[in-house]
Amino acid sequence: MPPAAPAATAPIVPGAILALEAIPFVAILLLLAPYLWPLDHAPTSGLSDIHHYHAPMVQLLAAGFRRDGELPRWNVEDFAGMPIVGDPQAGLYNPVYWLLSLWPTVHAFGPLIIGYTLAGAAGFLVYARALGLSPAAATAGALAFTLGGKLLLQLVLPGHTVFAPFFLAPLILYVFHRIADAPSPGRIAAAAALLGALTVSLHPQLLFYSGLVLATVGAAIVRHAARPARALVTLALAAALGVALAAVHWLPVLAFAGEFSRGQPDLFDAVQWDGDTGLGGRWLSDVISGRGAAPGAGLNWESHYYLGGVTLALAAVGLLAWPRVDPHRRLVWLHGPLALVLLLFGLGTTGGIQPLLAGLPGFALFRIPARAFILLGLPVALLVALGVEALGNAPLQRRCLVGCSAWLLVLLLLVATGAALAHFVTLALAATGAALLAGAASLKPRPFVGAVCLVVALAIDTGSIVHPYVQTAPEAEIGRLAPGLVLPRDLADVVRIAEFERSATEPGIPELTVRRLGLETLAGFNPLFPWRFALYASFAGGINPFAHSFDIGVPILATVPGLFDLLGVSHLLHPPGDEARAWRWERRASAFPRAYLAPGPIVVPEGQGDELMTAEINALFRLVDLDARHQVLLHGPAAETALAAIGATAGVPLEPFRPVALARRTANRIVLTVHLDHPGILVLNEPFFPGWRARDGAVEVPVLRANVLFRALALAPGQHEIALEFSPAAWRVGWWVSAAALAVMLVLMLATLARRYSPRD
What pLDDT is attached to residue 273?
A: 38
pLDDT reported for residue 271: 38
pLDDT value of position 234: 94
Distance CA 246, CA 456 (A): 40
DSSP 168-203: GHHHHHHHHHHHHHS--HHHHHHHHHHHHHHHHHS-
| CB neighbours of residue 607 within 10 Å | 18
Helix (H) or strand (E) holding 43: strand 41-43
DSSP 3-state assignment of 755? Answer: helix
Banded pLDDT at 398 (limits 50, 70, 90): confident
Type of residue found at 328: H
User: Bridge-partner residues for 721, per DSSP?
Assistant: 673
H/E segment holding residue 363: none
pLDDT value of position 263: 45
DSSP 521: B
pLDDT, tens only, 61-94: 999 988 888 999 999 999 999 999 999 999 999 9
446-494 residue pLDDT tens = 678 888 889 999 999 888 888 888 999 999 899 899 888 999 888 888 8
pTM over 0.75: yes
Q: What angle do CA 680, 682, 683 make, to 5 degrees?
A: 140
Give CA–CA dist 171/285, Å, rounded.
32
Phi, psi values for residue 166, rounded to 5°: -65, -20
292, 299 Cβ separation under 8 angstroms: yes
pLDDT of res. 653: 83
User: Are 525 and 75 contacting, i.e. CB atoms less than 8 angstroms apart?
Assistant: no
What's residue 355's pLDDT? Answer: 62
* Residue 178 in this model has a pLDDT that exceeds 70: yes
d(CA 679, CA 643): 9
**pLDDT tier, 496 (very low <50, low <70, confident <90, very high otherwise):** very high
Residue 237 or residue 445, greater confidence:
237
pLDDT for residue 697 is more than 60: yes
Res 210 pLDDT > 60: yes
Q: How far is CA 124 from CA 120, 186, 234, 293, 664, in A?
A: 6, 21, 22, 27, 51
Residue 268 and residue 219 in contact, taking contact as beta carbons nearer than 8 Å = no
Give residue 391's pLDDT: 87
Cα torsion 625, 629, 635, 640: sign:
negative
> Does the pLDDT at position 711 exceed 90?
yes
Nearest alpha carbon to residue 189 among 698, 755, 752: 752
Q: Is the pLDDT of residue 365 over 80?
A: no
Lowest mean pLDDT among 490-504, 541-555, 626-640, 685-699: 541-555
pLDDT at 535: 86
Name which residue leads in pLDDT, 540 or 578.
Answer: 540
Residue 351 pLDDT greater than 90, yes or no: no
Number of H helices, E strands in the chain: 27, 19
CA angle 724, 730, 734 (to 5 degrees): 115
Rounded to an integer, the average pLDDT of 379-399 is 89
Count of Cβ atoms closer than 10 Å to residue 444 Cβ = 8
The pLDDT value given to residue 722: 96
Give the angle subtended at the CA of 560 by the CAs of 555 and 563, to the nearest 5°: 90
Strands 692-696 and 601-604: unpaired
pLDDT of residue 650: 67
Q: Which of 114-123, 492-501, 578-587, 720-729 has the lowest mean pLDDT?
A: 578-587
